[in-house]
Amino acid sequence: MAVRNSKELGEKPIGKLLIQQAVPASIGILVMSLNILVDTIFVGNWIGPIAIAAINVVLPVSFFIAALGMAIGIGGSSIISRALGADDHKKALKTFGNQITLTILLSTLLVVPGLIFVDSLIPAFGGKGEIFDPAKIYYIIVLCGVPLLSLAMMGNNVIRAEGKPKFAMIAMIIPSVGNLFLDYILINQLEMGMEGAAIATTVSYFLCLAYIVWFFLSKNSELRLSFSHFRLDFPILKEISSLGTVTLARQAVVSVTYLLMNNILFDLGGEDSVTVYAIIARMLMFALFPVLGVTQGFLPIAGFNYGAAKYSRVRKSINTAILYSCLMGLLIFLGIMFFAPDIVKIFTSEASIIEQTPSAMRWVFAAIPIVAIQLIGAAYFQAIGKAVPAFLLTLSRQGFIFIPLILILPHYYGEIGVWISFPIADLLSTFITAYFLNREIVKTLK
């Protein structure tokens, strides 16, 4: 018999509950980020700096397809959290079954053209010159495993919607540890180069999915599916799609950003500049783990209590999440400002990369102390099922502000124009989100 403890989301003190939800999420993101970070260090030292740039070129394509699973997972999890809060277990089950069917169909359909047009996609995302061949090797192998990653990302969000953050954390840790272990065996010991790196990544996806399948088949989950739940239901699909589009659009914009950044930086400074961006992108994934953990912990709390019409708890969860994440952002900012040169030396011994990266990294992290407001604000609208404001606020930073800046500023300021675009976009999008979030609190959550 499954344990029904999702009701704790509507009963425990918000501060304690947020820590309970955010700490496992943060640890999971930390381990996953460390995996990406150490994987980059391994690849850079055991294969070479060009390999770092090659993986960075491949990530937008594979992550966009995998993001379908994340989008369906987050969109459906918002429905599940609110359904559990309203004690509508039937809708929660139907939503989960539809999530699985939709993820399998869409991720598989996208992988096929991704493989057919490999020779066009890699150069389009900046895989030019010496970067092309290693990027193609990595791309083909990893893309074949992307449907597994899509299902894993979807399932992980549903585990969190049930109020089981520790299991979601383990689901993130398993592939990370597995990938590093396989990296050492395949790259360092067997000297398989880019093929070894790609196989290690793909096998780690399988390990993650295997654990998630075990969770939902075990007594730990309260979502006990039957075959009827997998039959597509149009009203539920429509709701999943409207909310999932927010996440998918964000990931699409991330992919477009990678495309533009890799091409702009290649034109401005060649392979070295692309490698600088690859290192900074890895640090962004790694350093923001506590802020992203608080955001993930906040989602099921806000969704459940909104579904249960406990609006005072929703307000308190917003304020507490912003406070915690801004304090974390300040610590991250200070660490980057003081230790940027030492951080870069971990990735590479190339003098030109070591010289260029620290100042660029400081610009990119300059507004991190307040960017949590933007993340929590956009997440709130997604958690309560308001797709349009969630969509617009999620895209405000990268889509509406950052991309225009990197298309304009480099013409006047060169490569520094790329780096200063980051804090400008962070500041403007945070002010916009703060305005709409405050208006929503005044109007809806009294």
Report the predicted TM-score, pTM, of the whole model to 2 decimal places.
0.73
Indicate the DSSP class of residue 446. Answer: -
Return the minimum-mean-pLDDT range out of 57-66, 249-258, 321-330: 57-66
Average pLDDT over residues 158-179: 88
Within this chain, do residues 239 and 223 fall inside the same structural domain, yes or no?
no
- Residue 3 inside a domain? The answer is no
- Residue 14 inside a domain? The answer is no
- Residue 15 inside a domain? The answer is no
Residues 338 and 163: their CA atoms lie apart, in Å, by: 38
> Of 216, 232, 248, which residue is a domain's last?
232
Distances (CA, A) of 437 to 78, 217, 370, 377: 18, 39, 14, 6
CB 18, CB 163: distance < 8 Å = no
Farthest-apart Cα atoms in the chain, separation: 64
- pLDDT category at 2 given cuts 50, 70, 90 is very low
* 3-state SS assignment for residue 163: coil
Give me the half-sphere count of Cα atoms (radius 13 Å) on the Cβ side of residue 37. 18
Within this chain, do residues 361 and 301 fall inside the same structural domain, yes or no?
yes
- pLDDT category at 94 given cuts 50, 70, 90 is very high
CB 271, CB 50: distance < 8 Å = yes
Give me the half-sphere count of Cα atoms (radius 13 Å) on the Cβ side of residue 413. 12
Tally of domains in the chain: 2
Indicate the DSSP class of residue 10. Answer: G
**Numbers of helices and strands, H then E, in the chain:** 16, 0
Within this chain, do residues 136 and 261 fall inside the same structural domain, yes or no?
no
- Residue ranges making up the domain that contains 351: 233-445
Averaged pLDDT score across all residues of the chain: 87
- pLDDT for the residue numbered 6: 64
Within this chain, do residues 196 and 282 fall inside the same structural domain, yes or no?
no
Within this chain, do residues 418 and 428 fall inside the same structural domain, yes or no?
yes
> Of 232, 251, 282, which residue is a domain's last?
232
> Of 232, 260, 293, which residue is a domain's last?
232
- Residue 333 inside a domain? The answer is yes
Indicate the DSSP class of residue 205. Answer: H
pLDDT higher than 80, residue 36: no
- Residue 154 inside a domain? The answer is yes
- Residue 441 inside a domain? The answer is yes
pLDDT higher than 50, residue 3: no
Residues 131 and 95: their CA atoms lie apart, in Å, by: 42
Query: Which pair of tokens denotes residue 179?
Result: 């990938």
User: How many angstroms from the chain centroid is the CA of residue 296?
Assistant: 10
Within this chain, do residues 266 and 300 fall inside the same structural domain, yes or no?
yes
- pLDDT for the residue numbered 259: 82
Query: Which pair of tokens denotes residue 223?
Result: 């979502």
- Residue 156 inside a domain? The answer is yes
Residues 158 and 6: their CA atoms lie apart, in Å, by: 12
Within this chain, do residues 250 and 199 fall inside the same structural domain, yes or no?
no
- Residue 387 inside a domain? The answer is yes
Within this chain, do residues 243 and 298 fall inside the same structural domain, yes or no?
yes
* Nearest-5° Cα angle at 443, 438 to 446: 95
Within this chain, do residues 215 and 241 fall inside the same structural domain, yes or no?
no
Within this chain, do residues 189 and 309 fall inside the same structural domain, yes or no?
no
Residues 330 and 348: their CA atoms lie apart, in Å, by: 27
Which residue shows structure tokens 């969770």? 215
pLDDT higher than 90, residue 98: yes
Within this chain, do residues 175 and 264 fall inside the same structural domain, yes or no?
no
Within this chain, do residues 227 and 316 fall inside the same structural domain, yes or no?
no
Of 60, 58, 41, nearest in space to 286 by CA: 41
